[in-house]
Structure 1
Amino acid sequence: MPTVGMQIGGNRNAANKPLDSNGKREWSNGLCGCFSACGTCCYAFWCPCIVHGKNKQRLRHLAEQNSPDPEGGSCCSGSCWAHCLLTGCVGAGFILQCLNRGEVRSRYGIEGGSCGDFCSSCCCAPCDLTQVSREIELEEKSFGQRY
């Protein structure tokens, strides 16, 4: 049975970032650190809807199943199609990214707010998608499985 302070599942601060007085921390990887994950960054640049859909599905699986998604996220999920339609029709796929970024910040106790989420998602969508993907990946790897 879980006790107070015991963490169930993966490590949500796998990079051991220090917490501030509010119990919040910084992102494990900087927004411009997307280039150190070049494959994901390129994928996010050319196919942002797929990366968004995978991020969303991986995050959902961690939240609901308390384990990494064994498929690594589907490339044809509803979230992917919603992003694709919003981006293709009105150029507003970043709105979904902004919402997902807020969910990730909440799950991992990362400092920030809606304005920063909006600016990151709107002004540098590929870097935003990569940063979110890498944060999720750290928790997935903390389960001791390779993803």
Structure 2
Amino acid sequence: MQPQYNDGKPQAEAEWSTGFCDCFSDCSNCCITCWCPCITFGEVAEIVDRGSTSCGASGALYALVACITGCGCIYSCFYRTKMRKQYNISGSQCGDCLSHFFCELCALTQEYRELKSRGFDLPLGWQGNVERQNQGIAMGAPAVQGGMTR
């Protein structure tokens, strides 16, 4: 992975904000992920994809892959890599795949906690987070005055 540059200086790679096995630091997400990992994956994927895919679509595709292959990790490990690259978190693609293969639930909850620590409210989705960041101010087209009158 090539370092990102800021003002001509290489930017150091960051570490994950929480440990891989810190699942119980967010008990509600740990329980949801344990019983229905497609929900956590969908929420993470929507934020990582910046709203280009919905939580529902990503979660459904994850569930489909998991039902057909028995390994949702085949799909989810690519999002871990994408997320690491977005936030310049240290690691490798091989490590991402191994993390998801050996403990899918720990990997998903760590990604969820990482986005949460970066200020995202994952249940709101991408659009909800954008609106929250803009403090609910709708950015629409400017009002246009009436046309020419005589």
- The alignment status of 1:105 with 2:105, answered yes or no, reads no
Aligned to 1:49: 38
Q: Please give the per-residue CA displacement for 1:69-117, whole angstroms capped at 9, x wherever unaligned.
A: xxxx74xx21111110111111121022100000111011111001110
* % identical equivalent positions: 34
Mapping of 1:1-147 within 5 angstroms?
5=6, 23-61=12-50, 74=55, 77-141=56-120
Amino acid aligned to 2:61: A
CA shift, 1:38, in A, is: 1.3
Aligned to 1:13: none
Q: Please give the per-residue CA displacement for 1:29-88, whole angstroms capped at 9, x wherever unaligned.
A: 0100111111111111110111101111122237x7xxxxxxxx74xx211111101111
Could you tell me how far apart the structure 2 residues matched to 1:61 and 1:93 are? 21
Q: Which runs of 4+ in 1 moved over 3 A?
A: 141-145
Give the TM-score of the pair, scaled to structure 2. 0.68
**SS of residue matched to 1:24:** coil
The structure whose Rg is larger is 2
CA shift, 1:22, in A, is: 6.3
Could you tell me how far apart the structure 1 residues matched to 2:118 and 2:25 are? 18
Could you tell me how far apart the structure 2 residues matched to 1:100 and 1:26 are? 17
Could you tell me how far apart the structure 2 residues matched to 1:101 and 1:112 are? 10
Q: Give the alignment's Cα RMSD to 1 decimal.
A: 2.6
Could you tell me how far apart the structure 2 residues matched to 1:36 and 1:138 are? 12
**Number of equivalent positions:** 117
